[in-house]
A and B are shown apart, each in its own frame.
Chain A
Amino acid sequence: MKQTDAWGASFLELIRRASTDLPVDVERRLRAMRRAEDPESRARWVFDTILENTALARAKSLPLCQDTGTPLFFLRTPRGTDHLHLEKAICSAVARATRKGWLRQNAIDSITGRAYADNLAPGLPSIHIEQAPVRQVEARLVLKGGGSENMGMQYSLPDDALDAGRDLEGVRRCILDALVRAQGRGCAPGLLGVCIGGDRSAGLLEAKRQFLRSLSDRSPDPALARLEARVSREAVELGIGPMGFGGRGTLMGVKIGSLARLPASFFVSVSYMCWSCRRQGFSARPDGTIARWFQP
């Protein structure tokens, strides 16, 4: 198909924004967390550095972090949209963004250890397209860093070691366990995406979809909303702090979703997102021109 439309340019700009411009809700949360730390503390110094970095990256249009992460594209399209065409446009934008330095050469062949020149490789970029009752294509991009990805966990309940049963109290124990295991290593303060249920692969994907939610929203399910608020409160008491240097600011938030499960299984999937929580989105007209930018 001809690339006479604007899709390629729109996806390229989406990548540039995601890599260089931290979302406003994330920056606002980081500022609030900075204020909660003691003046002169190590934690305050980390937040100052993070916020200075955010301003520099935005002003210079350069990557927030040299690990530009796994590009996770989530698209919702009206009926009749050509998905293959959109995938092609995404891939060409990823290759161009790599040449322009908004993405690092970040895809390694798992057998030979060689880097792919353009970040186009089996499984990368990670593209999830679904039809939805929408009028325009909605595209969202999350860049998920490797250091934070390494901190993810998947639990199968019941779990004797955690004394975690198949209920929300068991889920709470899993989330707190994942957080204490991670310490500051996923570049705390992190954001936790959690999925209760699903099979193993669906659970982790749904956990990552939680990163699309605004930091200030609450789960529509009252029980999950209570659990989100509770774990966020309890995280402060752990004292891990930004980068694990000690302090109150261990967690930017926790977002919990759920999927149905089989009677035999009860998975709790936890995905850790670093403070550099890079996500942006747009809706576009049929020719690919941007109708509206939104911060998911």
Chain B
Amino acid sequence: MIHRLTYPFTREQTEPLQAGDGVRVFGLIYTGRDRLHKYLFEGGACPVPLADGGLYHCGPVMIREGAGWRAVAAGPTTSIREEPFMARILREHGVRVVIGKGGMGTATAKACAETGSVYLEAVGGAAQVLASCIVRVRGVRFESEFGSAEALWELEVADFPALVSIDARGVNLHHRIEHASQRALARLLANEKKDGRG
């Protein structure tokens, strides 16, 4: 089942979601990578309101177009690098939707459960599909301080496809799959022992 998430991302929208569900995101989201997360974690003031907001782990490739910008490639980057910072940012800034790739850890899952937030994953490597969902680049913050890839880009997206990786109860989709794969591996290796030595 595909859910719609529209900014501002209220608890009413995130709470029904379950790990593994498909979603389409509409409205305003902000990009942020290592520099922004560290800055917010250390108590830096945010120039945009993050409450009920979305934070996209992405270092887009932007080109100037007239007075504005256009995203030419905007896929997700690995989220686990932000694991040390994420829980505090969810609790203190009220970010409700985080988007990235590769999965996040138990501290983030715990904070999701406390704050009714969700962690979504976009398809890694799908830079063109995801750039085409960016309907407008509203502006950019911290560009001179952090550089273009690490800056906070204000993006308006429509029909942005993602999957619920950690839901608002803290259930983590990858845990189940990872454990199942470890059991499958143990079976594959056990069979071999029987064949080889029995």
A291 at the interface (CB under 8 A from B): no
Specify which chain B residues have a CB less than 8 angstroms from the CB of A241 in the assembled complex: 177
Contact B125 A187 (CB under 8 A): yes
B125 contacts A275, CB within 8 Å? yes
List residues of A (224-253) whose CB comes within 8 Å of B's CBs.
234, 237-246
Q: Which residues of A contact B103 (CB under 8 A)?
A: 183-185, 244
Per DSSP, chain B at the interface is mixed
The answer to the question of A65 belonging to the interface, with a C-beta cut-off of 8 Å to chain B, is yes
B102 near A42: Cβ-Cβ < 8 Å = no
Query: Given that A147-B102, A176-B185, A243-B121 are known contacts, is A50 also in contact with B126, CB under 8 Å in the complex?
Result: yes
Is the Cβ of B161 less than 8 Å from the Cβ of A49?
A: yes
- Whether B123 and A62, one on each chain, are in contact in the complex, defined by CB atoms closer than 8 angstroms, is no
Q: Is B88 on the interface with A (CB-CB < 8 A)?
A: no
Residues from 65 to 103 in B contacting A, C-beta threshold 8 Å: 72-75, 77-78, 80, 101-103
Taking CB atoms and an 8 Å cut-off, the chain A residues in 42-58 that contact chain B are 42, 45-46, 49-50, 52-53, 56-57
Chain A: interface residue count, which band?
35 or more
CB of B145, distance to nearest CB on chain A (Å): 13
**Can you name the residue of chain B whose Cβ is closest to the Cβ of A241?**
B177
A173 to B189, CA, bound (A): 8
A159-194 interface (Cβ within 8 A of B): 163, 169, 172-173, 176-177, 180, 183-185, 187
Minimum CB–CB distance from A227 to chain B (whole Å) comes to 12
- B120 CB, nearest partner CB in chain A, Å: 12
- The answer to the question of A274 belonging to the interface, with a C-beta cut-off of 8 Å to chain B, is yes
Stretch at the interface among B44-52, B55-63, B136-144: B55-63
Task: Decide: A184 near B125, CB < 8 A? Known: A65-B75, A66-B60, A245-B173.
Answer: no
Establish whether residues A60 and B188, one from each chain, have CB atoms under 8 Å apart when the complex forms. no
Number of interchain pairs (Cβ within 8 Å): 132
Other-chain residue from A60, A150, A169, A244 in contact with B196 (beta carbon distance below 8 A): A169
**Complex CA–CA separation, A237 to B80 (angstroms):** 26
Interface segment, B6-14, B105-113, B127-135, B151-159?
B127-135
Assembly CA distance A180 to B186 (angstroms) = 11
Q: Tell me the nearest residue of chain B to A60, going by C-beta.
A: B128
Q: Does A281 contact B (CB under 8 A)?
A: no
* CA of A276 to CA of B75, assembled, Å: 12
| Distance of A58 from chain B, by nearest CB (Å) | 9
> Contact residues of A with B, CB < 8 Å?
42, 45-46, 49-50, 52-53, 56-57, 60, 62-67, 101, 104-105, 115, 145, 147, 150, 163, 169, 172-173, 176-177, 180, 183-185, 187, 234, 237-246, 274-276
Q: Report the 5 A-B pairs with minimum CB-CB distance, sorted nearest first.
A: A66-B73, A56-B128, A187-B124, A53-B126, A49-B123
14 interchain pairs (CB within 8 A)?
Answer: A49-B126, A56-B129, A57-B128, A60-B128, A62-B127, A62-B128, A63-B72, A64-B128, A66-B127, A101-B72, A147-B77, A169-B196, A239-B177, A243-B101
